[in-house]
Structure 1
Amino acid sequence: MKYTKTFAVTLCVTLLLTTAFTMATTSCTAGSNGCATCKADKSACETCKDGYFLTAPTCTPCVLPCATCSAGKTCTTCASGYYMKTTGSTTACDRCILNCKICNDTTTCTTCEPGYFVETTNSTTACAQCIQNCATCSDAKTCKTCKTGYKPDTKTNTCAKSDASASTPKAVMMFSCMVFLCTMFLMM
């Protein structure tokens, strides 16, 4: 296993969180620090949330790229952009191809990251970029949704810049109003 800066940071944060939990409290609270359920006497976590594993008395985050794990480095499922690779009796999470969100191996991508689409060439797949200003597409010429600030142009099958004079969507205005009202309420 390669030890990267991300791995080191994850390990340090994990140790700090575990130490802080142990020092700060001797009482378990379900829902905090990755703990799903506590022992009856509240002395320790009994089960952990997905993405954590039990290190009595607390739950410790799985090391990336694990989404769920049975111990720090023993992945049971992989994070987005990784797949479960088995070599002999060892399993580990390995990186999908570039811009791939879900894959079966390093040559078969089933779902690409936003802004990319699955392109198959000679029994291998790759994630090719959508046309400019397109958020999701099914192929190089068909844009399903445009990026924010752009709208579909049916004449050219591209995404054209939205008019600056176009009105703000009602949902955005309602959300902004709710944030303002909540902020004002909290300040009272």
Structure 2
Amino acid sequence: MCRYNLHATFRWAVSGTPFQNRVGDLYALVRFLKLDPFSHYFCSQCDCKALNFGPFDARTRCIRCHHSRRSHWSYFRRYITRPITMNASSAEGRQSLQLLRKIFGNILLRRTKAEREQDVHLPPLVMETRYVRLEPSEQAFYDRLAQEYQDKVEQLAEEGMLEAKVSELLVLLMRLRQACNSGLLIKYSENKQGHRECELLRGIDSR
């Protein structure tokens, strides 16, 4: 969330993989760029409009318009993500895909490796597989993590939730890869580290 709070007159973003698993992944770019109305939340009972969902008071009412939490909805989710996810081949789904193409067609500058090969002069890709033994403490940490994640996968399978939780499963695989590099990557992936990064960014932003 800290990147969204950066103050800027102009915004731009660079990405090699705008989305990996689902259309909803694109919302992070839309939200950062503040593409109105696609990045905003709206209220169905008034003209309340905000980049963030909430905040709400103890009675789950919006502190801006005082309408209920359920009255607020995401433009991107309602008109793009949900129709495409529910049925991309339906009339509504196709319309949402066209809208998505129109949005990114107006803001996206795409450069492929082939288009810039003569300018960049990239060396040929060399792939090499190396097998590295983990230290005993690293291996023990990895094994504990793998067992924990395996238990979670088995639980999701028993509940029939594997397909619905694909994105979460991919995160677990990413965590296992990170554990092979350093357990600190797992430790500092917690929310408290996110808050630390926000503090650092606020310091940069104030200069």
Using the size of structure 1 for normalisation, the TM-score is 0.23
Select the structure of larger CA radius of gyration.
1
Higher helix share: 2
Higher strand share: 1
* Structure with higher RCO (Cα < 8 A, 6+ apart): 2
